[in-house]
Structure 1
Amino acid sequence: MQVALCVLCVVLCINGGFSSPLKSAQSREKLASVDDVNILMYGVLQFSESLHHIYQSTEAKLARVTQAISRTESDVRRLGQDTEEAAQTECQIKEKLQLIQAQMEGLQVQAQENRGTITRVEQEEAALKKKLTTLEENLNSSVPGKIKDTTLKNITILKDLMKWTEEQKLKLEIQNQQLAELQKRNVV
């Protein structure tokens, strides 16, 4: 609309529409031809169309830039959230790693205790076997009937005790194997 008004003003100025009656007689000699006015009008129309096209393309470009900015902002927010989640996950992993390390230390202490117990049980078993052998030898060589019966009972008790000791030793070895497997799992 403004462009059309500008064109109308230009045409009136050229035709002398704003001039006074006294000047109109003088300016009639200098009036532009219709072809010149048409060419001028065509140029003004082309110029206004170009301006309108530039305005629309600029508006479209601004809309695209605005969309790109909003996408970038959402990407930045999402990246920030991902970073926070990664930091939280890292803290959780560190805590679990410390817990596993503490468990490993506890398992190692328990394994050492079990090894000490197995060694002590083996020593006791060896001592019991030695005593049993000594008692059997003493019994066979010199003890009369009643003492011999008591000694035989003691020997039976000692043999049962040795069996029990052997069973405990096997249980401890199984526990050590299980403990070693748990340590291997935790290391992996």
Structure 2
Amino acid sequence: MIWRLCLLCVAGALGAVQAGPIRKTSKTEDRVAPVEEVNVLMFGVIQLSESLRYVHTSTEAKIAQISQTLKSHEGTLQNLEEKAEEAVDVEKQMKTVIHLLQEQMTEQEAQTKMSKDVLASVEKGEVALNTKVTRLQMHLDNYVPLDLRELQERATEHSCILRGLEDITQYLKEIIEAQNEKLSRLQEMSEDSFPSF
């Protein structure tokens, strides 16, 4: 295509091309360009064609480079989109875990409160039983009852009940301590693993 363009330029520079043979007249001799001018024109046309070819080649190289850069940017953009999707998934999972931890903490707090209420009730019963035992002992010390054996049996029975209540109280205290420790661990896990959202 470039050579066709060059030939067209040469033809235009030399004047109109005639189909028939050239007759030597004074008018045609005046119109014929000297050889030096034709050489200069040909040299110019060759340089123009070289320049056009260089521009064409460099433009193709630049287009290829731009296309490669665009492909690279598209790959980077796709990677960023994938990472963003992964981050959204991780955030959802973290929120789910935090929700589960909060539910466990709420359940543990409810169990601890219930255990504390039971312990308080048992301690009240223990105090009441201690009072009864003390009164019974005072009664034994101050009065001579008709049936001393019956009173001693009752005192023994109350002592057994009191020891049982003390064992239950100790057991409930251990349960509450274990629940408090578990609750503390859950709170530390919640604070350390998932700072804030």
What's the TM-score bracket when you normalise by the shorter of the two chains? 0.7 to 0.9
1:127 aligns to 2:133 (yes or no)? no
Match of 2:40 in 1: 39
* Alignment-mate amino acid for residue 21 of structure 2: P
Match of 1:184 in 2: 187
1:3 aligns to 2:6 (yes or no)? no
Specify which of 141, 144, 149 is matched with residue 146 of structure 1: 149
Match of 2:174 in 1: 171
Query: Relative to 1, partners in 2 of residues 1:173 and 1:121: Cα closer, same or farther, differing over 3 Å?
Result: same
Superposed, 1:22-33 pairs within 5 Å as 22-26=22-26, 27-33=28-34
Report deviation, 1:121: 1.4
**Could you tell me the percent identity over the aligned residues?**
26
2-side partners of 1:127 and 1:2: how far apart? 116
Instruction: Give yes or no for contact 1:118–1:169 (8 Å, CA) kept in 2.
Output: yes
2-side partners of 1:35 and 1:105: how far apart? 103
TM-score by length of 1: 0.79
Instruction: Give yes or no for contact 1:14–1:32 (8 Å, CA) kept in 2.
Output: yes
* Alignment-mate amino acid for residue 47 of structure 1: L
Match of 1:61 in 2: 62
Superposed, 1:65-104 pairs within 5 Å as 65-104=66-105
2-side partners of 1:67 and 1:114: how far apart? 70
Which moves more between the two structures, 112-121 or 72-81?
A: 72-81
Report deviation, 1:178: 1.7
1-side partners of 2:175 and 2:22: how far apart? 131
Report deviation, 1:5: 8.0
Which moves more between the two structures, 172-181 or 95-104?
A: 172-181
Greater fraction helix = 1
1-side partners of 2:129 and 2:138: how far apart? 14
Which moves more between the two structures, 8-17 or 89-98?
A: 8-17
1-side partners of 2:35 and 2:22: how far apart? 23
Query: Relative to 1, partners in 2 of residues 1:159 and 1:12: Cα closer, same or farther, differing over 3 Å?
Result: closer
Query: Relative to 1, partners in 2 of residues 1:123 and 1:156: Cα closer, same or farther, differing over 3 Å?
Result: closer
Report deviation, 1:46: 0.8
Deviations 1:63-96 (A, max 9, x none): 0121122122222322322232222222222222
Deviations 1:125-169 (A, max 9, x none): 111211121222223333466346524532542452243144224
Instruction: Give yes or no for contact 2:112–2:179 (8 Å, CA) kept in 1.
Output: yes
Q: Which has the higher contact order (CA 8 A, sep 6+)?
A: 2
| Stretches of structure 1 lacking an aligned partner (at least 5 in a row) | none
- Which portions of structure 1, spanning 4 or more consecutive aligned residues, are displaced by more than 6 angstroms? none
Query: Relative to 1, partners in 2 of residues 1:116 and 1:159: Cα closer, same or farther, differing over 3 Å?
Result: closer
